Amino acid sequence: MLIVMSILFAQFKGSVGYNLFKLLGTVVGQSSTIGNCSLRSKILLTAWFLFTLLISLSFSVTLLSRIIQPTKVAPIRTFHDLSRAVQSGGHKLHAMESHVPFFLESEEDHVKALGRMLIRENWVIEYKST
């Protein structure tokens, strides 16, 4: 669109390269001295300004939505995810004393790591029946 409009405005004033940079400047909000005072030039300039307004606002809205909305943290669904989250220090794992052998005797390395962290960090909960 930028190149096509540059060629169209070259019929009124300046070269294609000159108009290309002038039109690119209008996209980023600079004022423009493109074209002459003819009706056809004013119509092209109005169409171009509407196009740049649409592009600029679309970019602004997209950027703003990315800034405002925080990225969503992926939920913990598996023991592998849980192991990574606990080892990174972002989460804790509390388990009853009867569950510790399940962790320590597992064939999976990430589950064993959870068991070792349970013991090392003293996250084992004692079950008391009433």
pLDDT in tens, 59-104: 888 888 888 877 677 788 998 999 999 998 888 989 998 889 999 9
Neighbours of 8 (CB within 10 A): 19
The confidence score (pLDDT) of residue 35 equals 64
The confidence score (pLDDT) of residue 109 equals 92
Report which listed range, 2-11, 36-45, 79-88, is most confident. 79-88
- The structure's pTM equals 0.46
Residues present in the chain in total: 130
The confidence score (pLDDT) of residue 5 equals 86
